[in-house]
Chains A and B, each alone.
Chain A
Amino acid sequence: SSELTQDPAVSVALGQTVRITCQGDSLRLYYASWYQQKPGQAPVLVIYGKINRPSGIPDRFSGSGSGNTASLTITGAQAEDEADYYCNSRDSSGDRYVFGTGTKVTVL
């Protein structure tokens, strides 16, 4: 299967920790990347290669994963972290890419 499945929505209290998961068979073979998308804006890369954070991304964002699951953790969520988050990886063929179904994160 080349699908990546995410929980549709999660909520987190301000300053608390939230973990977003992404499941798919291709994650056994390829690393996940994660993107943050705010309304009306283009996605922004927040994690690549499963655990790497691009420059400029706060260190409260971290990535992990094992087997067919990748995770994005926000430690000490801020109001500005409220957004849609998408995982991404190669598909099972390795030649193409697939995005997850997306998770809407609400900061309470």
Chain B
Amino acid sequence: QVTLKESGPALVKPTQTLTLTCTFSGFSLSTTGMRVSWIRQPPGKALEWLARIDWDDDKFYSTSLKTRLTISKDTSKNQVVLTLTNMAPLDTATYYCARVPYTKDAFDIWGQGTMVTVSS
């Protein structure tokens, strides 16, 4: 059974750096063609893709956020970490991680999401 779960702070202050961890099971990020993405959704708004990391450590970022985002993986721990610097109230959202197998090129399994509020 494939599962993903996001973890991180529920509240961050403006200008702080957000660090989120996606811990997954049921697949390996060292398997050729396997990838994990982060997606966020502000309250009442649409989904927004943020970043993707691949089995070979290739990384891709949203054009609008690439200067603030970093994605990394720890294959031995089955974890993917996302950092977003200089947080602002507009970054308030539910943050999801999702598996993106090459064979589907779609987000086939999602974590439950973690709500992050940016407020002083």
List of B residues within 8 angstroms of A99 by Cβ: 39, 46-49
Kindly provide the distance from the CB of A57 to the nearest chain B CB, expressed in whole angstroms.
11
Q: Encode B62-98 as 1/0 by CB contact (under 8 A) with A.
A: 1100000000000000000000000000000000100
Select which of A31, A42, A52, A97 is within 8 A of B37 by beta carbon: A97
Closest to B49 in A: A97
The B interface, classified by DSSP as helix, strand, loop or mixed, is loop
> B8 within 8 Å of A by Cβ?
no
Number of A-B contacts (CB under 8 A): 58
Q: Are B46 and A35 in contact (CB under 8 A)?
A: no
Closest to B52 in A: A97
Closest to A44 in B: B110
List A residues at the B interface (Cβ < 8 Å): 31, 33, 35, 37, 42-45, 48-49, 52, 54, 86, 88, 90, 95-102
